[in-house]
Amino acid sequence: LMPINISLGLIFGGLLTACVKDREEWEPFWSGVFASNSIWMLVRAMIG
Domain boundaries, the chain: 22-48
Q: How distant, in Å, are the alpha carbons of 9, 36, 42, 48 from that of 33?
A: 11, 5, 14, 23
Of 46 and 5, the structure prediction assigns the larger pLDDT to 46
Other C-beta atoms closer than 10 Å to the C-beta of 3 total 8
Question: For residues 30 and 13, is the Cβ–Cβ distance under 8 A?
Answer: yes
pLDDT at 46 over 90: yes
Confidence class of residue 47 from pLDDT cuts 50, 70 and 90? Answer: very high
Cβ neighbours of residue 7 closer than 8 Å, sequence gap 6 or more: none
Average pLDDT over residues 9-20: 84
CB 20 within 8 Å of CB 26: yes
Q: How far apart are CA 37 and CA 5, in angstroms?
A: 12
pLDDT tens digits, residue range 23-41? Answer: 888 888 888 888 888 898 8
